[in-house]
């Protein structure tokens, strides 16, 4: 496990702020008491949470033919047939994975292929499990096409706390299963839009792990 490079500056800023607040508390109090512990504990937890948020686990991705692997850690909150109106403009199976502030927030490619489409959309910051968050929130859409010309659309969706979507890839880039393609800060979701004949392997409420859990099998 390592700390994501996107977190270095934020962690440093939080550390400085925590240290300064701790110094102010010590400066304005005479002796160390239980009050200090009550005041210091939230500051320490904030620092530890910030470090934990940017953790990147070292995992060996599951390699199964014709499978779509989860791009994120979290909980499945949507499994339904919907009309996808940005890229496919037809009906697809949507699977959505909600990432709480305690989950790993790195996003990995769910299959091998090529990035055939990518577009960023500014938007609102509704809570990430809101039904309209996929079409109204700030989001980034990315489509991966495999060697059999099967396409899966991924959508990084910002949430109420998530105020920045990061994507390191662009259209034309090679997609390798388990390779990192982005990150969302802080608390968010990833939507997957699959062909209607895909065989879904998860249900609402399931806990999934990025690079490890099979979401569906493609025909």
Report the number of distinct structural domains present in the chain: 2
CATH number at residue 95: 2.70.70.10
Q: Are residues 144 and 205 both part of a single domain?
A: yes
pLDDT tens-digit map of 72-123:
999 999 999 999 999 999 999 999 999 888 888 889 999 999 999 999 988 6
> How many C-beta neighbours within 10 Å does residue 153 have?
20
Q: Are residues 201 and 120 both part of a single domain?
A: yes
Q: Are residues 39 and 77 both part of a single domain?
A: no
CA distances from 44 to 7, 8, 70, 199 (A): 17, 17, 32, 45
Q: Are residues 181 and 85 both part of a single domain?
A: yes
pLDDT tens-digit map of 126-170:
655 555 555 667 889 999 999 999 999 999 988 665 557 888 889
Residue 62 lies in a domain: no
Q: Extract the tokens encoding 107.
A: 């996003």
Q: Which domain holds residue 43?
A: 2-56
CA dihedral 140, 141, 145, 151 (to 10 degrees): 150
Cα–Cα distance between 113 and 186 in angstroms, integer? 28
Q: Are residues 38 and 71 both part of a single domain?
A: no
Q: Are residues 146 and 86 both part of a single domain?
A: yes
Based on DSSP, count helices (H) and strands (E) in the chain, helices before strands.
3, 16
Mention every residue, 6+ apart, whose C-beta is less than 8 A from residue 11: 3, 47, 50, 51, 54
Catalytic residue positions?
188
Q: Are residues 78 and 33 both part of a single domain?
A: no
Q: Are residues 102 and 197 both part of a single domain?
A: yes
Residue 61 lies in a domain: no
Where a domain ends, among 11, 35, 56?
Answer: 56
Q: Are residues 130 and 172 both part of a single domain?
A: yes
pLDDT tens-digit map of 168-196:
889 999 999 989 998 887 668 899 999 99
pTM to 2 decimal places: 0.80
Q: Are residues 128 and 182 both part of a single domain?
A: yes
Cα–Cα distance between 13 and 47 in angstroms, integer? 10
């Amino acid at each position: 496990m390592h700390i994501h490079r996107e977190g270095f500056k934020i962690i440093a800023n939080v550390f400085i702020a925590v240290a300064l607040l701790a110094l102010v508390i010590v400066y304005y109090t005479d002796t160390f008491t239980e009050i200090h512990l009550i005041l210091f504990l939230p500051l320490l937890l904030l620092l530890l949470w910030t470090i934990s948020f940017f953790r990147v686990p070292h995992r060996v991705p599951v390699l199964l033919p014709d499978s779509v692997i989860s791009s994120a850690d979290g909980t499945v909150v949507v499994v339904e047939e919907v009309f996808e109106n940005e890229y496919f403009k037809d009906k697809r199976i949507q699977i959505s994975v909600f990432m709480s502030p305690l989950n790993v927030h790195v996003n990995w490619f769910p299959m091998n292929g090529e990035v055939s489409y990518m577009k960023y959309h500014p938007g609102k910051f509704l809570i990430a499990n809101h039904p309209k968050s996929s079409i109204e929130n700030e989001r980034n859409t990315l489509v991966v096409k495999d060697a059999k010309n099967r396409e899966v659309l991924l959508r990084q969706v910002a949430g109420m706390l998530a105020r920045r979507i990061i994507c390191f890839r662009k259209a034309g880039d090679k997609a390798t299963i388990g390779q990192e393609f982005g990150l969302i800060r802080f608390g968010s979701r990833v939507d997957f839009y699959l062909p209607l004949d895909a065989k879904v392997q998860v249900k609402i409420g399931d806990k999934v792990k990025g690079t490890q859990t099979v979401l569906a099998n493609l025909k």
